[in-house]
Structure 1
């Protein structure tokens, strides 16, 4: 990092931002539900790929904010609304799939799905659930810049954005590890059906809130 970039960063504000960002990350939301659902259905590998999908989306939105594209999307109300509705529909779709799985109570045996399929499915669900959540975009475009020194430039913005993405990734990976350790107990058919139903209802709730609320 160049001296110009370092001088442009208010490190006290950065520390305050880290505490704030950590609090935001720890609040259960769509990312939490998607990672938990993937870990329970596909194990640690799928959960980790789901977390990687969320982190990839955070990186994309951080770059968009740095380039000014995020602000353009927020100003273009029709585009913003399409993204919001897409996110709501996708979360409801995932929730309904979990409810259907809970109703049927038939689960694939461990190892019956290819590693490539597991990785692709986990990453896709994590990425899409995050990239279509307009609240994430609002965070990068409207909330994050409030912690920056006026005129700080693009690189400090990227530092703050990457820090948030890494915090989110670290938390979701820890969550995946914890869920995987208790998966043997939670994977019992009755418990699994209850968890799938609970997670499915939560996803539908997040999707409904996303549809009716304006960030």
Structure 2
């Protein structure tokens, strides 16, 4: 029971604290619409499943014990966030969709954004490793650990779906779309800063 409560608590904290995942879901929801937001959230949930899988397979232990490998993964994630941020900034536009409810992002593109943002996110890596290397014990059954993984992925997915529904309400979305250019540029700068921040901490003692 203590393990379960700890997993749920960590999931809530990791989901709610703003980071690259939150920025991408918010941006895609406001610009691409509700379906884009939900698909971005699904991509994040699927990526978290990847983190859970390698943590369960024991690869997480190897990563946690190898500073070189862990820092390499951090740099890859940082580079992706910087690339995504710069792309978002450069493609920012004042142009409004002909219909405020129409989608300007395909579901698959939104899913890819969510997936790659999370799968290269060191915070998600540490989240999975902290659960399966520190919270659970060798006596925890495999199926129980898989259940924890499902709780983690579905919990994060559910949170971002809620975020999507809140920010795609007509009044909220229309208000944001009136400042579309600066909103997209702001999200681009934030993602770039997230990436730079991750790169700057590479090599630090963990």
TM-score range, shorter chain: 0.7 to 0.9
Change (3 A) 1:16 1:112: closer
Instruction: Tell me the distance in 2 between the aligned counterparts of 1:175 and 1:127.
Output: 17
Q: How do 1:56-71 residues align onto structure 2 when only pairs under 5 Å count?
A: 56-71=46-61
3-state SS of 1:151 partner? coil
Which 10-residue stretch deviates more, 36-45 or 53-62? Answer: 36-45
Structure 1 residues 89 and 109: alpha-carbon distance in aligned structure 2, compared to 1, 3 A threshold:
farther
Q: Residues of 2 paired with 1:41 and 1:72: CA distance?
A: 40
Q: Tell me, what secondary structure is at the counterpart of 1:120? A: helix
Counterpart check, 1:213 vs 2:197: no
Matches within 5 A, 1:141-156: 141-156=129-144
The equivalent of 1:180 in structure 2 is 168
Matches within 5 A, 1:41-52: 41-52=31-42
Q: Does 1:198 align with 2:149?
A: no
Match 1:137 to one of 121, 125, 146: 125
Alignment deviations for residues 109-166 of structure 1 (CA, whole Å, 9 cap, x no partner): 45475xxx61111011111011111221222123444222442143222222221111
Determine if contact 2:46/2:115 at 8 Å carries over to the other structure. Answer: yes
Higher share in helix: 1
Once the two structures are overlaid, the 10-residue window that deviates more, 22-31 or 155-164, is: 155-164
Measure the CA separation in 2 of the matches of 1:42 and 1:171: 18
What is the TM-score normalised by the length of structure 1?
Answer: 0.83
- Does the aligned pair in 2 maintain the 1:92–1:207 contact within 8 Å? yes
What is the aligned partner in structure 2 of residue 105 from structure 1? 94
Q: Could you say what the CA RMSD is over the residues aligned between the two structures, in angstroms?
A: 2.1
Q: Which residue of 2 aligns with 1:90?
A: 80
Task: Please state if 1:15 is matched with 2:5.
Answer: yes
- Can you give the 5+ residue segments of structure 1 that lack an aligned partner in the other structure? 1-10
Aligned length in residues: 199
Q: Which moved more, 1:37-46 or 1:153-162?
A: 153-162
